[in-house]
């Protein structure tokens, strides 16, 4: 199992501020890798840079052997890198069904799309009842489910998740993490960005800790759960 995604020397600037200061990390195929850190540490910026939505000041991103550093966003999605953005990026004026259909926008394999559609509704039965309602009328948890389901509809090779637990009730958070684990068990490679450090480390195979744009710790999820610095800074022990 080699690295499916290899990031080296990634830098992102916002004006004169270095938001991400030359970080390296890699995602192993079939694993859950997490990037945890506080608000403003550079997590979301890193994800947006991977998807080509913010300009990279330096560095390289290699996905499955192909250099995707300078590709436009839609090409990156077509290659198999799908992102569930922070705040879910709902298309509130489209129905739930239309949102899901748009997830498979670039695909032409009609039969497989239909089976993925059914699969998503199995994963998230609550969406089935709301298929023809507007996405804007869903609860926060349902919107997160729709956002994940929509990304799955692209049949990605890697799923990037930006704070899927944000603003959700504890029970819903449990449910979302259970689904993430399940998708991974089906073989999907996952890159999870979280402020909910404990939950993220619990399900992650590999983990990185980011502080003010730099990666300060890395290891397996288990190792970092017990790491004194993590315990002190993020788990409040």
Least separation in angstroms between CB 94 and other proteins? 6
**Angle 140-152/110-123 helices, nearest 10 degrees?**
150
CA–CA gap between residue 212 and residue 231 (Å, rounded) = 18
CA–CA gap between residue 22 and residue 177 (Å, rounded) = 29
Q: Which is nearest to 86 in space by CA: 162, 140, 23, 28?
A: 162
Least separation in angstroms between CB 218 and other proteins? 27
Q: Does 77 participate in binding other proteins (rule CB under 8 A)?
A: yes
Q: Does 67 participate in binding other proteins (rule CB under 8 A)?
A: no
Q: 132: burial class by Cβ within 10 Å (0-12, 13-18, 19+)?
A: exposed
Q: Does 82 participate in binding other proteins (rule CB under 8 A)?
A: yes
Q: Does 70 participate in binding other proteins (rule CB under 8 A)?
A: no
Q: Does 92 participate in binding other proteins (rule CB under 8 A)?
A: yes
Least separation in angstroms between CB 151 and other proteins? 8
**Angle 170-185/110-123 helices, nearest 10 degrees?**
140
Q: Does 66 participate in binding other proteins (rule CB under 8 A)?
A: no
Identify each DSSP E strand in 144-234 by its residue range.
158-162, 189-194, 206-211, 214-220
Residue 136-175 contact track with other proteins, rule CB under 8 A, x = bound: --------------x---x---------------------
Select from 1-9, 35-43, 83-91, 180-188 the region that touches other proteins (CB under 8 A): 83-91
Identify each DSSP E strand in the chain by its residue range.
3-14, 17-28, 32-36, 58-63, 66-67, 81-84, 158-162, 189-194, 206-211, 214-220
Residue 100-139 contact track with other proteins, rule CB under 8 A, x = bound: -xxx-xx---------------------------------
Residue 26-45 contact track with other proteins, rule CB under 8 A, x = bound: --------------------
**Positions that interact with other proteins (CB under 8 A):** 51-53, 72-74, 77-78, 82-83, 85, 89-94, 98, 101-103, 105-106, 150, 154
């Amino acid at each position: 199992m080699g690295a499916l995604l290899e990031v080296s020397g990634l830098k992102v600037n916002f004006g004169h501020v270095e938001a991400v200061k030359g970080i390296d990390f890699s995602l192993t195929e079939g694993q859950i890798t997490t990037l945890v850190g506080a608000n403003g540490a550079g997590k979301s910026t890193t994800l947006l840079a991977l998807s080509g939505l913010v300009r990279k000041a330096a560095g390289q991103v290699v996905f499955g052997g192909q250099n995707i550093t300078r590709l436009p966003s839609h090409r990156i999605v077509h290659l198999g890198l799908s992102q569930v953005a922070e705040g879910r990026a709902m298309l509130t004026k489209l129905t739930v069904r239309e949102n899901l259909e748009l997830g498979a926008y670039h695909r032409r394999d009609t039969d497989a799309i239909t089976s993925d559609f059914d699969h998503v509704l199995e994963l998230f039965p609550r969406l089935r009842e709301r298929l023809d309602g507007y996405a804007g009328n869903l609860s926060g948890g349902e919107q997160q489910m729709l956002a994940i389901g929509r990304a799955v509809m692209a049949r990605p090779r890697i799923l990037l998740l930006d704070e899927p637990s944000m603003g959700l009730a504890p029970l819903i958070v449990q449910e979302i993490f259970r689904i993430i684990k399940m998708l991974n068990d089906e073989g999907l490679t996952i890159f999870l960005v979280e402020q909910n450090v404990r939950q993220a480390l619990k399900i992650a195979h590999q983990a990185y800790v980011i502080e003010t744009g730099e990666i300060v710790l890395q290891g397996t999820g288990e190792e970092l759960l017990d790491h004194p610095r993590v315990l002190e800074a993020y788990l409040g022990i």
